[in-house]
Every structure is written in structure tokens, then in C-alpha cells.
Amino acid sequence: MPPLNPHPSQSLTSKEAPLPYRPRTTPHLPATAIPSPTTKAECSFTQLQSVLHPSLFDAVLALNYKNMTPVQAKAILPLLSPSRPDAIVQARTGTGKTLAYLLPALHHMLSAGDAMTRRKVAVLVIAPTRELAGQIAVDAKLLLAQTQHSVIHAVGGTVRKNEERRIQKPAGSRVIVGTPGRLLEHLSMQPFWRLTRQLDTLIVDEADHLFDLGFKAELEKITALLPSPKDRPRQTLLFSATIPPTSRPKPPTS
């Protein structure tokens, strides 16, 4: 099972208390394209101490991450920005891309505060396969281990009723990670649909793989059932190994 960061190092220690983080206060910017890094970046996760939610920074330390991978160094700080730009990020499997989108998404969820996040689906991650969705869910749980927020894994081949009970049960925010077909089934049901009315972040991982597998129609139906970004501003992130100009998806902007 690959780790969030494929290059973990020795445990980090910090002699200074984390500086206050700044919750988001400004609206969306137009979509930003973040190409695949061409050079290695020497960036340490300690650079996030002043901008990352304290519980996430503590989780990063506990998971023994030291240096960011190139895609993490290129994407995390821009996506942590209070302006919360939509983005298309070019990143291949095994580059640490999961952490590159989970840290910003979970940071914004936690920074919103309990009053804004209670009893809703705050983050929705769409993945092409059950295996990838399962790994993303495990990674999200590790990052949220010291919080009261829930991570629910929703994929085909499992009992949907059990997923529905887990989705309805939590009192805190929910991070839902799933495959297109099963997520569309849930969104077609009123209880789940209502929980997505305050969706904060939509993530499409391995977008090129999703299109190759023929999930374009399901993705269009899912986005149609979610609140319009014009009515409920959110951050939309697409991660893909390749993004041909003729088929490049355009994240909605507010």
C-alpha cells in the first residue's frame, strides 16, 4: 500500500509552536493550470507550519514526512491560498498527488469551523477504481485521525445500505471518496443529495483514466446534481497524468 508521500524521511520535530493559520476570506479565482514539475524541488513540510491547520500539520509530523515531492511542492501552497482557485494539476500515479490535494481540501474544511461544517459532505473525491478510492480514504483517515470528522468509502461491489448508514450517522463533516457509479447512486437519493448542498471541495483524481474508462456521462450527471458553483462557491480540483488540449476538462468557476 503506497504512502501519502512516496519519499518519507525521519521524524520531524518542531521547537516552536505553529503560527496561526488564516481561514479563507476571499472568493474563487479562475481555474489555474499546474503542469507536471520538470525539476525536483527542495521544499520541506515545515514550510507549511504557518499556513496549514494545526491538526493537519501535527498529522504530517506524526506520519514522518519531511521533504515534499515535486508535485506537492508545486501544488500545495497555491491550493492552500485563501483565494481557493480551481485547478487542473498534471501528476502521475506515485508522485504524491494524493497528499497534494488532500491537505488543501482538509485544511479548508477544518478552517471553516464547526458551525459551517457540521452534518454535511464537505469534500467529495471521485476516483476511477475501487482500489484507488480505498487508498485515498485510508490516507484521509490518517490525516484526520485527531479530529471528529468522518471519511466514508463509497464504491460498487459493497452493500449500499451500509454506506448510507455511515453517511447519515456522523455529526461532523464528511469526506466522501468513491467511484462514479456508486456516487451517482447516492446522489440520486434525497438524504445524500441534501448533505451535498454545502459541498466545499470537489476533487476528480486520475481524470484521464476516468474518461478512458467511459465515465464521462457519469461525471456530467454527478456535477449536474451538485450545487452550482455560482450558488455555492467551491474549489474544484482535477488531477490527471495527461491533459490533451482537445479534451481538457474545464472546472466550473463562480
Interhelix angle for 160-168 vs 180-187, to 10°? 60
CATH 3.40.50.300 fits 32-243, yes or no: yes
Q: What is the pLDDT of residue 32?
A: 62
Q: Is the pLDDT of residue 45 over 90?
A: yes
CB-based burial label for 99 (10 Å; 0-12, 13-18, 19+): buried
Average pLDDT for 221-245: 89
**Cell 520531524 maps to which residue?**
12
C-alpha span between 189 and 101 (Å, rounded) = 27
Look at 124 and 24; give whichever has higher pLDDT: 124
Q: Is the pLDDT of residue 247 over 80?
A: no
Average pLDDT for 5-23: 35
Q: Is the pLDDT of residue 8 over 50?
A: no
Yes or no: say if 8 and 64 are a contact pair by the CB < 8 Å rule. yes
Q: Residues 198-227: pLDDT tens digits?
A: 899 999 999 999 999 999 999 999 999 999
Yes or no: say if 136 and 203 are a contact pair by the CB < 8 Å rule. no
In terms of phi and psi (left: phi > 0; alpha: psi -120 to 50; beta: otherwise), the region of 142 is: alpha
Average pLDDT for 56-76: 94
Q: Is the pLDDT of residue 9 over 60?
A: no
Average pLDDT for 21-47: 55
Yes or no: say if 187 and 218 are a contact pair by the CB < 8 Å rule. no
Q: Is the dihedral of CA 90, 52, 132, 70 positive or negative?
A: positive
Q: What is the pTM of this model?
A: 0.80
**Cell 477544518 maps to which residue?**
110
Confidence of residue 239 (pLDDT cuts 50, 70, 90): very high
Q: Residues 68-126: pLDDT tens digits?
A: 999 999 999 999 999 999 999 998 889 899 999 999 999 999 998 765 556 689 999 99
Q: What is the pLDDT of residue 114?
A: 62
Q: Residues 139-185: pLDDT tens digits?
A: 999 999 999 888 999 998 877 777 777 777 766 678 999 999 999 99
Average pLDDT for 125-146: 96
Q: Is the pLDDT of residue 28 over 60?
A: no
Look at 81 and 5; give whichever has higher pLDDT: 81
The three-point CA angle 150-151-153 to 5° equals 145
